[in-house]
Structure 1
């Protein structure tokens, strides 16, 4: 099954409506943003992070224009060191290549061992956008529906003031 099909199937099962924009493969955030100009919804970036010993993984969702203060994030999640996880870890944990990380990758994490965090700044937005496990599509959905999706697939999340 194509990775996007699993996303579409799960959203349908959860009765979550979304808007789909198909486009050329997006290799950067700037390129992705150019493909979805004029469509309502906050542009997000999703980072797959790990601690020093690779014993804990984190999925952090924030506005794509905001820079992450890694020290602040590390302090908020009470870890001794945080860094970007390797592409091997990303594939092992979510079956995804770099460049398509999103909450939809959690569908491929049956262990449910990834901690999910949102930057508080984007939580009041009505809609968010994500690659649905492929960089050739962008999905827009209501923020409340994204939270319902996470709950529906068995993940909890925390909101941090980054």
Structure 2
């Protein structure tokens, strides 16, 4: 698996939502490494990507409350499992469950298996609250998809949780998951 610096040479051939990620990162002067690969929809399928980039791709879970009035994008280490009873009191929101693929498409312009912090560029109305596990925030680097699950990126965590989130008008809530 080849590791590349910056946007792909075949940029114009990529999906528009992937192009938009590279455009915003480039406009902010955020450097990134990238690999292209077969579609990966699970953390287990990302192991080869992790090795190539020297990172652990984060698990991104799209959640909602029972009434479907509040939506959350939870970013956590791929090795952790979510216990909603542990998360709920920290945000606070009871009765969390996985949001539908339709809601993910509508709010973040990504399909299941492609959820990513980068998709917040499409949440212009700030309907999705970003939740980040403290272990992710403690890392120097951050791995994610550019709104498609056929490419993965390695960025500096400070760039993602600083200039990127500021540019897309989002903040995060730090959570602690065991």
The TM-score, its normalising length taken from structure 2, stands at 0.87
After superposition, residues 115-130 of structure 1 pair within 5 angstroms as 115-130=129-144
SS of 2:63's equivalent in the other structure is strand
Give ranges in structure 1 of 5+ residues lacking alignment: none
Q: Tell me the CA shift for residue 38 of structure 1.
A: 4.0
Greater share of residues in strand: 1
1:98 and 2:115 matched:
no
How far, CA to CA, are the matches of 2:133 and 2:20 in structure 1? 26
Equivalent residues, number? 162
How far, CA to CA, are the matches of 1:127 and 1:40 in structure 2? 9
- The aligned residue for residue 32 of structure 1 is 46
Give ranges in structure 2 of 5+ residues lacking alignment: 1-14
**Which of the numbers 26, 32, 55 marks the counterpart of 1:12?**
26
Higher relative contact order (Cα pairs below 8 Å, separated by 6+ residues): 1
How far, CA to CA, are the matches of 1:153 and 1:59 in structure 2? 14
Asked if 2 retains the 8 angstrom alpha-carbon contact of 1:42 and 1:127, the reply is no
How far, CA to CA, are the matches of 1:161 and 1:27 in structure 2? 25
- The aligned residue for residue 71 of structure 2 is 57
Greater CA deviation, 75-84 or 3-12? 75-84
- The aligned residue for residue 158 of structure 1 is 173
Q: Tell me the CA shift for residue 15 of structure 1.
A: 0.8
Greater CA deviation, 103-112 or 33-42? 33-42
- The aligned residue for residue 83 of structure 1 is 97
How far, CA to CA, are the matches of 1:137 and 1:64 in structure 2? 17
1:74 and 2:88 matched:
yes
The TM-score, its normalising length taken from structure 1, stands at 0.95
